[in-house]
């Protein structure tokens, strides 16, 4: 059995002045693709011959330029054209939240081109992030498609295994099935749909029940992505029948699931402890035990912000606190380069902040270089070896503030990433990270996590986002 595989990840925030190019993409070919797509074990066990195309992971950043995208898309397409006479199926890992200059969604373009080449019947399985924008046409172009259930995404491997097993079974026992899609007039932010909280817990439990029926192969829902304007925005549900004769039943189940999610629309709320910036910092500084994690949610790099804002740094400097504080990180390429011309122990003045707007206006600091490090991938997202940027950790003179100055916007969510930057969580009372919700390792190892509702490209107030292209009416922008 021959299965062609490929992966493309980009969460494109169009509210930042940063274009995603191949230079910022972790690009791997050959055997590394099987590893990065977490398919090795299952495909080995099932004796699948794998044809890897590429794994292109741009992470969460700006909109991608057309030339870079064309390279990624053409690599997958050429792989298919070269092997078309041998292929039994295609397995893709496509995030769903990309936007390409002058094109729109990259994933939708890729799948559309693939179907034009292979026709309607070749089995195609797609692993999707729930924070992607899907549509009826896109979903129906797949044979199998499913989003992770958990946010933060702790069930990526499980989702991959589920789809790989189902793809193999479809190839062995051919069934002419098509996923059933229902779009909802509902847009949600990732911070309002954490799966350990309601109503997502109940929605996931509802889908578990639906899948106990032999006629239903898979039930999933996706939150959608709100950081670029697109007619594809909004959440939706996907139900896949077990066999072709179960299609009518799958349609009924899709209606039930869509109605269930819709009935919960007033219950989506911020997760955990959340406060306006002044209150959030006050609570963090008054907390007796460390470490406290404070998330700068308006500048959330895991949702495509640049991580350049100095707003919280200014807040902390103004507070005159004596507490030990770490910023992980602040992205400023020029300041990074300036620091990189020095060595550990050097003391120098820096102007930290790219001055893109008031939120990222520069702060003058005298700093000592304490560590020259690098950024590492997120194990949670299956990122392993590869280049995720460089960083230099500095201590602000005459203060208890340390800052990781980075040359890109990689999130800091796991302990090993901090260690690669030369810092230890337990040395600090407060750690400021560029995230929305706190990721599992941060939550488990902190005495408190608090989301600061800061301004910025990942503003949390969904109802006030300036959409023009989305379907209307749409809750909560329209009170339906
Ligand atoms: Zn996601």
What confidence tens digit (pLDDT) does each residue in 314-352 have? 999 999 999 999 999 999 999 999 999 999 999 999 999
Q: Among 226, 246, 267, which residue terminates a domain?
A: 267
The 3-class SS string of 90-133 reads EEEEECCCCCECCCECHHHHHHHHHHHHHCCCCCEEEEECCCCC
Name the band, by pLDDT with cuts 50, 70 and 90, for residue 191. confident
Tens of pLDDT along 118-154? 999 999 999 999 999 999 999 999 999 999 999 989 9
Q: How many CB atoms lie within 10 A of CB 334?
A: 15
Mean pLDDT, all residues of the chain: 95
Res. 230 pLDDT band, cuts 50 70 90:
very high
Q: Are residues 289 and 373 in the same domain?
A: yes
Q: Confidence band (pLDDT; 50, 70, 90) for 382?
A: confident
Centre of ligand 1 from the C-alpha of residue 13, in Å: 13
The rounded Å distance from CA 324 to ligand 1 centre is 32
pLDDT at 274 over 80: yes
Instruction: Report the separation in Å between the CA atom of 287 and the middle of ligand 1, taken as the mean of its atom positions.
Output: 30
Q: Give the whole-angstrom CA distance, residue 146 versus residue 133.
A: 13
In total, how many domains does the chain have? 2
Name the strands in the sheet holding 180-183, side by side, starting at the edge strand that comes first in the sequence. 180-183, 236-241, 216-222
What mean pLDDT is predicted for residues 414-429? 96
Q: Tokens representing 458?
A: 């990942």
Percent of the chain exceeding pLDDT 70 equals 100
Please check whether residue 192 is in contact with residue 268, taking contact to mean a CB–CB distance below 8 angstroms. yes
**Centre of ligand 1 from the C-alpha of residue 12, in Å:** 12
Kindly give the distance from the C-alpha atom of residue 20 to the centroid of ligand 1, in angstroms, as a whole number: 18
112 belongs to a structural domain: yes
CA of 427 to the centre of ligand 1 (A): 30
| Pair (86, 103) in one structural domain | yes
Q: Of 236, 267, 298, which residue constitutes the final position of a domain?
A: 267
pLDDT for residue 271 is more than 80: no
Give residue 92's domain range.
Answer: 2-267
* Beta strand pairing call for 236-241 and 292-296: unpaired
pLDDT at 465: 81
Query: Cα dihedral angle (351, 354, 360, 362), rounded to 10 degrees?
Result: 20
- 113 pLDDT band, cuts 50/70/90, is very high
Residue 369 has pLDDT above 80, yes or no: yes
pLDDT above 80: residue 260: yes
How high is the pLDDT of residue 190?
81
DSSP class per residue in 183-234: E-SB---GGG--TTSTTHHHHHHHHHHHHTSTTEEEEEEE----SS--TT-S
Asked if pLDDT for residue 240 goes beyond 80, the answer is: yes
Res 463: pLDDT: 77
Q: pLDDT band for position 380 (50/70/90)?
A: confident
CA dist., res. 349 & res. 44, Å (int): 55
Q: Is the pLDDT of residue 466 over 90?
A: no
Q: Say if residue 323 is in the same domain as residue 378.
A: yes
Ligand 1 center from residue 318 Cα (angstroms): 34
* Among candidate residues 245, 267, 289, the one where a domain is terminated: 267
Same domain, 47 and 142: yes
The answer to whether residue 131 sits within a structural domain is yes
89: confidence class by pLDDT, cuts 50, 70, 90 = very high
Place of tokens 């509902």: 186
Distance 151 CA to ligand 1 centre (A): 7
Q: How far apart are CA 201 and CA 433, in angstroms?
A: 26
* pLDDT attached to residue 464: 76
Is 385's pLDDT higher than 80?
no
Ligand 1 centroid distance, CA of 317 (Å):
33
pLDDT(168) > 90: yes
Instruction: Determine the distance separating the centroid of ligand 1 and the alpha carbon of 251, expressed in angstroms.
Output: 26
CATH of the domain at 130: 3.40.50.2300
Same domain, 279 and 245: no
Same domain, 172 and 235: yes
Alpha helices in 362-453 (DSSP H): 415-420, 440-444
User: Measured in angstroms, how far is the CA atom of residue 220 from the centroid of ligand 1?
Assistant: 14
pLDDT value, residue 460: 86
Residue 272 binned pLDDT confidence (cut-offs 50, 70, 90):
confident
């Amino acid at each position: 059995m021959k299965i062609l595989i490929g992966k493309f990840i980009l969460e494109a925030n169009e509210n930042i002045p940063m274009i995603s190019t191949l230079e910022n993409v972790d690009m791997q070919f050959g055997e590394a693709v099987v590893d990065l797509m977490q398919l090795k074990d299952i495909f080995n066990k099932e004796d699948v011959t794998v044809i890897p195309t590429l794994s292109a992971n741009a992470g969460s950043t700006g909109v991608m330029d057309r030339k870079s995208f064309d390279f990624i898309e053409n690599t997958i397409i050429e792989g298919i054209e070269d092997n078309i006479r041998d292929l039994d199926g295609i397995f893709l890992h496509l995030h769903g939240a990309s936007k390409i200059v002058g094109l729109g969604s990259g994933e939708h373009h890729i799948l559309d081109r693939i179907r034009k080449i292979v026709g309607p019947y070749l089995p195609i399985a797609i692993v999707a992030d729930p924070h992607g924008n899907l549509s009826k046409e896109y979903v129906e172009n797949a044979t199998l498609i499913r989003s992770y259930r958990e946010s933060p995404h702790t069930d990526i491997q499980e989702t991959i295994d589920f789809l790989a097993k189902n793809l193999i079974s479809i190839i062995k026992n051919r069934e002419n099935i098509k996923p059933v899609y229902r779009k909802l007039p509902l847009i949600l932010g990732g911070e309002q749909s954490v799966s350990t909280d309601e109503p997502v817990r109940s929605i996931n439990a509802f889908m578990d029940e639906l899948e106990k029926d032999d006629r239903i192969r898979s039930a999933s829902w996706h939150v959608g992505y709100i950081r670029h304007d697109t007619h594809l925005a909004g959440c939706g549900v996907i139900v896949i029948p077990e066999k072709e004769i179960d299609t009518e039943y799958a349609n009924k189940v899709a209606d039930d699931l869509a109605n269930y999610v819709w009935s919960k629309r007033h219950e989506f709320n911020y997760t955990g402890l959340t406060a306006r910036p002044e209150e959030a910092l006050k609570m963090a500084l008054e907390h007796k035990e460390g470490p406290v994690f404070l998330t700068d949610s308006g500048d959330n790099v895991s949702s495509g912000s640049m991580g350049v804002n100095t707003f919280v740094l200014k807040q902390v400097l103004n507070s005159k606190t004596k507490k030990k504080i770490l910023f992980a990180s602040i992205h400023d390429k020029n300041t990074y380069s300036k620091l990189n011309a020095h060595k550990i122990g050097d003391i120098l003045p820096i102007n930290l902040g790219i001055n893109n707007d008031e939120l990222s206006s520069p702060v003058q600091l005298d700093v000592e270089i304490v560590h020259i490090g690098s950024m590492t991938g997120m194990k949670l997202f299956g990122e392993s070896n590869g280049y995720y940027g460089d960083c230099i950790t500095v201590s602000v003179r005459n203060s208890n503030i340390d800052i990781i100055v980075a040359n890109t916007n990689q999130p800091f969510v796991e302990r090993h990433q901090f260690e690669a930057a030369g810092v230890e969580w337990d040395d600090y009372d407060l750690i400021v990270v560029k995230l929305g919700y706190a990721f599992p390792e941060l939550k488990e190892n902190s005495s408190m996590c608090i989301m600061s509702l800061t301004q910025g490209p990942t503003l949390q107030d969904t109802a006030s986002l300036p959409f023009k292209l989305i379907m209307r009416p749409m809750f909560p922008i329209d009170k339906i």
